Amino acid sequence: MDWYSLYSECPRMVLGLSLSAGLLVYYMLEAVKRPLLACRHSAWRGFLETNLTILKERYWPTPWCYESRCQTILASVLRSRLPDITYKRELLELKDGGQICLDWLETTSEVDQPIIIILPGLTGSSQSEYVKSFTARTYCAANSDDLEEAIEHIRAKFPKAPLMATGISLGGMILGNYLVTRGEQAAQHLVAAMVLSIPWNVFVGTESLEKPLWNLLLNRHLANCLCESIRSMRKQLEGDYKWDLDHVMEVLYGIPVEAANKSSHVAIIVTARGGHIGFMEGVFPTNTYYSDRIYKQLVNGIFSNLDKIKEVKREADEHAQLIAADSTNGSVS
């Protein structure tokens, strides 16, 4: 029987099969890819390539939900069923009279037990779903004073513990801002830092979030979260509405890959698919996400190679000095 006679007998089946085959081919070609590692050839890159074996695998986004907004929303829905984590809360009074909560997952008497600071995104907290699956009073991405005090406080409390920081979305912007403005101090305090799903270019991200219809679903979801949080802290947040624009997901073309390729200390991992804090994988997505697996490998790699990381840092610092010397001579290539 040839295709033509098959088609005349059961056209729906043939159309259905062709469509499925087409979608499968599209998924395999366009959605299933190895992540891009944007990082200079360096000891840092060597560390990432050997310790993060996940970078050699292809990321298989959930085939029936690999569109970015769909990933963002479904991942958030799935994770909302995670049980609350019991933290030990420490209130930290800040110099400006404010107060932040440090929620400790576990307390230990070992002085050199590694510590990770996790900064949640806009309207998030230590009970945010993405913080739970991974395992600071401030609502201004451009201000990292509170984070600075928190880090200094933890450092004073555990001077021997290797400290790493992770920021998600708005938390990532605050952390990034801390790294940029307090470079030397940050290098003394932190072994490494990771930011996830941050808008690299706020203006590009804002434009994308404001597009009608296209991002309506996500907008509504974020707006609901924001309203919920504003209801309880209306006073504090008044006048700060502009920051809801920071919760941006369509920022791929704002990613400074070229700058990371040349940077002394920064590496960026870019996936072909995935949403804002939504990296579901496989046909039946579980509560372990692709981003969680990257995170685990990074954390394990860093904390089990602390001496090697010192060398990595030294090499990166030397390169940074070269770049600085280059630019003062006015010969930036």
Ligand X SMILES: *[C@@H]1O[C@H](CO)[C@@H](O)[C@H](O)[C@H]1NC(C)=O
Q: Is 9 in the site for ligand X (CB under 6 A)?
A: no
Nearer to ligand X, 185 or 261 (CB): 261
State the nearest-atom distance from the C-beta of 313 to ligand X, in Å: 11
- Per-residue contact string for residues 197-236; x = within reach of ligand X by CB under 6 A: ----------------------------------------
Subset of residues 49 to 88 that bind ligand X, contact rule: CB under 6 A: 50-51
State the nearest-atom distance from the C-beta of 32 to ligand X, in Å: 18
Q: Which stretch binds ligand X (CB under 6 A): 70-78, 168-176, 235-243, 255-263?
A: 255-263
Report the alpha-carbon distance of residue 66 to residue 32 in Å, rounded.
10
Binding residue for ligand X (CB under 6 A) from 94, 101, 140, 257?
A: 257
State the nearest-atom distance from the C-beta of 299 to ligand X, in Å: 12
Report the alpha-carbon distance of residue 322 to residue 100 in Å, rounded.
39
- CA–CA–CA angle 267, 158, 149 (5° rounding): 70
Binding residue for ligand X (CB under 6 A) from 107, 109, 188, 329?
A: 329
Nearer to ligand X, 127 or 261 (CB): 261
Report the alpha-carbon distance of residue 134 to residue 291 in Å, rounded.
9
Residue type, 278: G
State the nearest-atom distance from the C-beta of 120 to ligand X, in Å: 29
Nearer to ligand X, 220 or 314 (CB): 314
State the nearest-atom distance from the C-beta of 252 to ligand X, in Å: 13
State the nearest-atom distance from the C-beta of 50 to ligand X, in Å: 3
> In angstroms, how far is CA 300 from the centroid of its own chain?
17
Nearer to ligand X, 216 or 306 (CB): 306
Percentages helix, strand, coil for the chain, rounded to the nearest 5? 50, 10, 35
Q: Is 325 in the site for ligand X (CB under 6 A)?
A: yes
| Site size toward ligand X, by CB under 6 A | 15
| 292: Cβ contacts below 8 Å, ≥ 6 apart | 133, 134, 279
CA distance readout (Å), 84 to 72, 133, 171, 222, 279 = 21, 11, 20, 21, 21
Binding residue for ligand X (CB under 6 A) from 33, 182, 221, 308?
A: 308
State the nearest-atom distance from the C-beta of 305 to ligand X, in Å: 4
Q: Could you tell me where the DSSP H helices lie in the chain?
A: 3-9, 11-26, 43-51, 68-79, 129-134, 145-157, 170-181, 183-189, 202-209, 216-232, 234-237, 257-262, 290-303, 306-328
Nearer to ligand X, 70 or 302 (CB): 302
Q: Is 326 in the site for ligand X (CB under 6 A)?
A: yes
- Per-residue contact string for residues 20-49; x = within reach of ligand X by CB under 6 A: -----------------xx-------xx--
Report the alpha-carbon distance of residue 255 to residue 38 in Å, rounded.
10
Q: Is 258 in the site for ligand X (CB under 6 A)?
A: yes
Report the alpha-carbon distance of residue 91 to residue 72 in Å, rounded.
32
State the nearest-atom distance from the C-beta of 329 to ligand X, in Å: 4
Nearer to ligand X, 101 or 270 (CB): 270
Q: At what angle do helices 216-232 and 68-79 cross, to 10 degrees?
A: 40
Residue type, 103: D
Q: Do the Cβ atoms of 165 and 245 come closer than 8 Å?
A: no
State the nearest-atom distance from the C-beta of 213 to ligand X, in Å: 31
Contact footprint for ligand X (CB under 6 A): 37-38, 46-47, 50-51, 257-258, 261, 301, 305, 308, 325-326, 329
